[in-house]
């Protein structure tokens, strides 16, 4: 299983390099904030640990999960939001 | 089992949406759609996770988290000023990092709690907690527990480092503390101690996986390390730091993917990791410095170079807006080269007003953007786009250098080191070899600047003393407003 995950990791890095080298400097800031929003994908893990742990049984993982959901959610909503705002400003002449 | 494979299939769809999303960002025309595709991928991944079940026991945790985090995110995204974008992006990087760190920690606690429960139920006294933790991990289909612990350690270290490093970058960019580089060797020592500390606690965790405190000890060390990591780095190097932290936030998410055995985290995390690394490299090349030099070094000493007096004495020509207005009479092509000073003076809208005025007189206006102008990759482009400058007028360094000899007037606004011809002509200069915008090759250069004070590199700029350069001293915005008035009167 681990070897498979490692393969996926390596391949995804190559895909990333291939696509991102084609992003023009004009769009580097939106690229960064957009990529940043995507790194908020860790919210998937946050939701799982938060939901699986009711406070009556195990307070610590549930509360940590809650904090993680808050941070990741700011990252996701804020990240896609500002990226959209920025991209909406890029216009062609005329 | 059936939903398991459906779930994984939908996660793959989400990952593909992310890839197409980033691909959309390769052109301004498709970029908005690209960002929306990324958002769709995120929503899909979240819905799949929520529907997948077993999340009802602690529903209030995640519902509360989504509402609170979502509200903060919306407000931040709507309220932020375009000039404050570098610090916001820095801060968001940090939030991604700490979320990953917390998830890895929470999963770790959960594993220990489940193992303790199973140990109690089994009643076997000859097997310790570590054994039962291994059983819990194996039952979750994650294979060798050591690999899971290792991913936990990596997630904690990178996540923690990213969080405090990003918060500190935010504080520096807001100028709550000085943006000047700090050269105190204690800072580097502190960084090393913190990282060695987190590595030691990481090793403890690998040997004794039931030691939950080891995770928080290594996380604490990484958090301290992040502070020492960014504290010495100066404001002008922030484009490199933000790019690197961007990469880290992705790698932390990928490591967390290994912890919870989830491919969508691994794919998206490594995409972001790759993206940040490429930007880091581009920024380093644009400053002609290695990454190690930016992170651990300081700029070379400048004592051997000529002093400001030698360079400037008697050669600097000051000018007034009225004189410059006359120069603009009958020109064909004007190139604007903005720097961080334009952002500080919030002069982007005034620049656009000036360009409008010139274009109405059939003057061609282009913008020459140096890759490290400003405080993050693409900073100037965003500011000018905000001021409604069409993106096809924003030229990259190489493109604008090729046409520089056909530029009648080059207007430099708040840029210094990135237009210093010493980089090209003086091999002993601390910035020798750094690619610059060759504004000195334009017929006339007008520099809008408060004074002759040096830029981040701390060296005088022979451009200001060049025979074809005119210095228009003053605040960027005010000087341009004056210039617009003078051109209108002319």
pLDDT digits (tens, 9 = 90+) for B416-464: 989 999 999 988 888 888 999 999 999 999 999 988 888 877 789 999 9
| Contacts with B82 from chain A: Cβ below 8 Å | 86, 89
Please give the pLDDT value at position B298.
57
Are A45 and B249 a contacting pair at CB < 8 A? no
Q: Which of B91, B99, B449, B356 is nearest to A47 (CA)?
A: B99
Q: Which of B40, B159, B173, B76 is nearest to A67 (CA)?
A: B159
Alpha carbon distance B209, B413 (integer Å) = 57
Alpha carbon distance B267, A15 (integer Å) = 10
CB B75 within 8 A of CB B127: no
Please give the pLDDT value at position A46.
95
Q: Is B367 helix (H, G, I), strand (E, B) or coil?
A: strand
Task: Residue window 271-310, chain B: list those with CB within 8 Å of chain A.
Answer: 271-276, 278-279, 282
Closest Cβ–Cβ partner in A35, A45, A57 for B250: A35
Q: Which of B417, B422, B440, B475 is catalytic?
A: B417
Helices and strands in chain B, H and E counts: 19, 6
Q: Is A84 helix (H, G, I), strand (E, B) or coil?
A: helix
Q: Which helix (H) or strand (E) holds B412?
A: strand B409-413
Q: In what order do the strands lie in the sheet with B444-449?
A: B394-396, B364-369, B333-338, B409-413, B444-449, B469-473
Question: Does pLDDT of A52 surpass 60?
Answer: yes
Read off the pTM: 0.91
Task: Residue window 128-157, chain B: list those with CB within 8 Å of chain A.
Answer: 141-144, 147
Contact B399/A at CB under 8 A: no
Please give the pLDDT value at position A94.
59
pLDDT tens column, B300-309: 444 556 777 8
Are B272 and A39 a contacting pair at CB < 8 A? yes
**Other Cβ atoms within 10 Å of B309 Cβ, number:** 9
Low-confidence ranges of chain B (pLDDT < 70): 1-3, 53, 297-305
**Other Cβ atoms within 10 Å of B458 Cβ, number:** 16
Please give the pLDDT value at position B23.
93
b/e per residue B176-206 (b: at least 16 CB within 10 A): eeebebeeeeebbebbeebbebbeebbebbe
Q: In a 10 Å sphere around its CB, with 0-12 CB exposed, 13-18 middle and 19+ buried, how is residue B300 labelled?
A: middle
Q: Which helix (H) or strand (E) holds A29?
A: helix A28-39
B277 CB-near residues (< 8 Å, 6+ apart): B243, B244, B247
């Amino acid at each position: 299983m681990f070897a498979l995950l490692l393969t996926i990791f390596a391949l995804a890095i190559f895909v990333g390099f291939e696509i991102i080298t084609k992003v023009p400097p004009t769009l580097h800031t939106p690229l960064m904030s957009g990529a940043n929003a995507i790194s908020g994908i860790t919210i998937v893990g946050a939701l799982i640990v938060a939901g699986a742990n009711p406070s009556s049984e195990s307070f610590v993982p549930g509360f940590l999960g809650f904090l993680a959901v808050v941070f990741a959610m700011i990252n996701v909503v804020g990240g896609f939001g500002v990226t959209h705002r920025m991209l909406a400003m890029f216009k062609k002449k005329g | 089992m059936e939903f398991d494979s459906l779930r994984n299939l939908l996660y793959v769809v989400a990952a593909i949406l992310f890839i197409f999303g980033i691909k959309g960002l390769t052109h301004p025309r498709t970029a908005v759609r690209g960002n929306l595709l990324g958002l769709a991928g995120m929503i899909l991944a979240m819905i799949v996770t929520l529907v997948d079940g077993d999340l009802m026991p602690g529903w209030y945790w995640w519902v509360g988290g989504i509402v609170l985090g979502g509200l903060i995110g919306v407000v931040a995204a709507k309220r932020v000023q375009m000039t404050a974008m570098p610090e916001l992006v820095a801060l968001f990087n940090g939030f991604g990092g700490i979320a990953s760190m917390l998830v890895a920690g929470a999963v770790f606690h959960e594993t220990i709690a489940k193992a303790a429960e199973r140990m109690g139920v089994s009643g076997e006294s000859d097997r310790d907690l570590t054994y039962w933790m291994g059983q819990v991990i194996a039952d979750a289909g994650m294979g060798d527990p050591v690999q899971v612990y290792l991913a936990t350690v990596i997630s904690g270290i990178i996540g923690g480092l990213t969080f405090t490093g990003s918060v500190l970058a935010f504080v520096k960019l807001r100028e709550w503390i000085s943006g000047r580089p700090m050269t105190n060797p204690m800072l580097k020592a502190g960084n090393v101690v913190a990282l060695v500390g987190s590595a030691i606690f990481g090793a403890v965790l690998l040997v004794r996986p039931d030691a939950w405190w080891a995770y928080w000890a290594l996380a604490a060390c990484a958090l301290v390390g992040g502070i020492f990591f960014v504290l010495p780095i100066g404001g002008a190097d922030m484009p490199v730091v933000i790019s690197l932290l961007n990469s880290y936030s992705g790698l932390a998410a990928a490591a967390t993917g290994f912890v919870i055995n989830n491919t969508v985290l691994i794919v998206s995390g490594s995409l972001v990791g790759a993206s940040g690394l490429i930007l880091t490299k581009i920024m380093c090349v644009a400053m002609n410095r290695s990454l190690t030099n930016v992170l651990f070094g300081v700029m070379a000493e400048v004592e051997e170079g000529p002093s400001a007096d030698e360079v400037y004495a008697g050669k600097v020509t000051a000018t007034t807006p009225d004189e410059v207005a006359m120069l603009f009479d009958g020109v064909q092509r004007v190139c604007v080269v903005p720097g961080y000073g334009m952002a500080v003076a919030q002069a982007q809208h005034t620049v656009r007003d000036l360009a409008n005025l010139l274009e109405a007189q059939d003057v061609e206006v282009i913008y020459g953007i140096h890759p490290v102008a400003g405080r993050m990759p693409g900073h100037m482009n965003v500011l000018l786009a905000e001021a409604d400058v069409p993106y096809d007028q924003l030229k990259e360094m190489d493109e604008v250098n090729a046409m520089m000899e056909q530029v009648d007037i080059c207007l430099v606004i708040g840029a210094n080191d990135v237009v210093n011809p010493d980089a090209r002509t003086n091999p002993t200069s601390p910035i020798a070899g750094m690619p610059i915008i060759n504004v000195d090759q334009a017929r006339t250069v007008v520099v809008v600047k408060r004074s002759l004070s040096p830029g981040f590199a701390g060296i005088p700029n022979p451009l200001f003393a060049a025979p074809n350069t005119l210095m228009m001293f003053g605040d960027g915005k005010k000087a341009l407003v004056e210039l617009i008035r003078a051109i209108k009167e002319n």
